[in-house]
Structure 1
């Protein structure tokens, strides 16, 4: 797990428990399988989704074991989407370790992702969760898939407008944030208004998170952003910074580069320079700021407690991250 939660020892301890549940649920009679998936699970990440679920649940009746299992379910669902994303993106590294698809092949990685997805659903049956939890999880999976399908459909299309981009990321990223917050609050017995409020919080945090993630491809560490931006551009995935810049690219400076059969590091550097020139960075920052502001406004409406304070601090930390 990353050091993201190091200043919040109680949350860190709970997420360690959640991870142990995940590790228990990937155990099979096939040692080779466990060896292939263990580094990916062990490396972890920020584990935002299970953490948000637990924080939301603390606004109601907090049943530790039940919530830990539910949080592990949500994280395993997220892990499944990451494995499949790496296949589509042909990614070699994830969280500092070689991806499953790179090390073992795409066919094997498909089965690993499917296994994680099935296990996340299977874990719901271990506790007396309400049946509508299955429907909500199924709906979230469907939204994530549709978001990825829409994004794939718009590959290499330089006239993707902002509304289409928003629709894509609201499905592929924000949907699981919404689910994490709302399902945690609902399962803890929070009243309907609080559950809906957490849904709005999850949506706005998820949107801000993805917009900032796309922004970091063009403003982060030079070596890292070069590889990340180049991969997206080569695969025809145009995110908000380049969408904004293309709107102002009257002389087709960016378009001419994108139309090349292949482009090198210098081309990527030129595109990044033009994105900055045409205001793509600043306009994207403003979009992220709007979603962040809405998230804070909604968080302020929550009852005062330690979890509310932690949530505000974490959102602040997320918007100022550089990774």
Structure 2
């Protein structure tokens, strides 16, 4: 498959990410060719492969570097990510993902759930073949628990008043940041980096994931619907209230509540009113400031990692993520 255009400026990393996809496809062992084709289409659906990219880059931190193992572990992490997205779409009843119809829309919820479960099993199949120790698999298992608990928290909080920045940050820590942290950590551990260095890689990944999700949520308000692959303010329409709207709720609770407490779905007029309130409250600017703070924290951790060519790529990539428009 064609690697996302995001990586055109990183030719060497782009080649490795192509190998990541090859490893994933090689582990899809389903006799029914129609079902196998459907699963392969999900894998080829156009993701940026950010988590495997961070795993590969962090595999250069330690003194022992094995490219084949790094690519395989990156493939396992990406498979885990895809599996969570398939389940996430079922929970949210999302109609599209990256501009394409979601699996449950094309087939049904049961099919999508089993497909996601199958991808979870593929993740552990790849990981068990290449990880040096059970501790890596154990970290992966605990991370799956953390990610899924974050999804459950988001599901439970849907259509609840968006009042707490702390709760929002806790939710995205499990939902998104944990897998970024895991990717950086496992890359470092499997290259035999010291415990202290691996912990710094974990912290860096956590901060990157926090900044990434906040930026992603901001784009839900600002982004081009066609480029994003989903309608603008899709999260708010689904009752998922993110940082710009939380800040707006703190600014004018009565006005926001009057719109969100309606029993019927949000109309275009409701969306326009919310956007006006968000602009008045500077909700987007405040959220962007938080994303910058997390990015700066990530770069501080990056600066403490051992020297190497990988650091320049990590720095450039992390800065680019905050500035993205899709």
Question: Taking structure 1 as the reference length, what is the TM-score of the superposition?
Answer: 0.95
1:36 alignment counterpart:
38
For structure 1, which segment, 223-232 or 205-214, has the greater mean C-alpha deviation from structure 2 after superposition?
A: 223-232
For structure 1, which segment, 178-187 or 227-236, has the greater mean C-alpha deviation from structure 2 after superposition?
A: 227-236
2:53 alignment counterpart:
51
Q: How much has 1:95 moved relative to structure 2?
A: 2.3
Cα distance in 1, alignment partners of residues 29 and 109 from structure 2? 21
Q: How much has 1:237 moved relative to structure 2?
A: 1.0
Cα distance in 1, alignment partners of residues 164 and 295 from structure 2? 21
1:312 alignment counterpart:
315
| Number of residue equivalences | 322
2:173 alignment counterpart:
170
Contact persistence 1:154–1:160 (CA under 8 A): no
Q: How much has 1:297 moved relative to structure 2?
A: 1.2
**SS across alignment from 2:24:** helix
For structure 1, which segment, 94-103 or 284-293, has the greater mean C-alpha deviation from structure 2 after superposition?
A: 94-103
Q: Which runs of 5+ in 1 are unaligned?
A: none
Q: How much has 1:254 moved relative to structure 2?
A: 1.7
Q: Which runs of 5+ in 2 are unaligned?
A: none
Q: How much has 1:22 moved relative to structure 2?
A: 0.5
Cα distance in 2, alignment partners of residues 32 and 70 from structure 1? 27
Q: How much has 1:43 moved relative to structure 2?
A: 2.8
1:10 alignment counterpart:
12
2:86 alignment counterpart:
83
Cα distance in 2, alignment partners of residues 220 and 29 from structure 1? 41
1:258 alignment counterpart:
260
> Pick from 66, 72, 76: which aligns with 2:75?
72
CA offsets, 1:209-242, max 9 Å, x none?
0011111111222677896454322321111110
Contact persistence 1:226–1:265 (CA under 8 A): no
1:235 alignment counterpart:
238
Q: Within 5 Å, which residues of 2 pair with 1:90-129? A: 90-127=93-130, 129=132
Q: Report whether the alignment pairs 1:321 with 2:324.
A: yes
Q: How much has 1:14 moved relative to structure 2?
A: 0.5
> Pick from 22, 29, 33: which aligns with 1:27?
29
Q: How much has 1:318 moved relative to structure 2?
A: 0.3
1:181 alignment counterpart:
184
Cα distance in 2, alignment partners of residues 255 and 292 from structure 1? 32
2:65 alignment counterpart:
62
CA offsets, 1:93-128, max 9 Å, x none?
222322111111111000000000011112222235
Contact persistence 1:181–1:199 (CA under 8 A): yes
For structure 1, which segment, 163-172 or 36-45, has the greater mean C-alpha deviation from structure 2 after superposition?
A: 36-45
Root-mean-square deviation (CA, aligned residues, Å) is 1.6
2:217 alignment counterpart:
214
Cα distance in 1, alignment partners of residues 48 and 147 from structure 2? 19
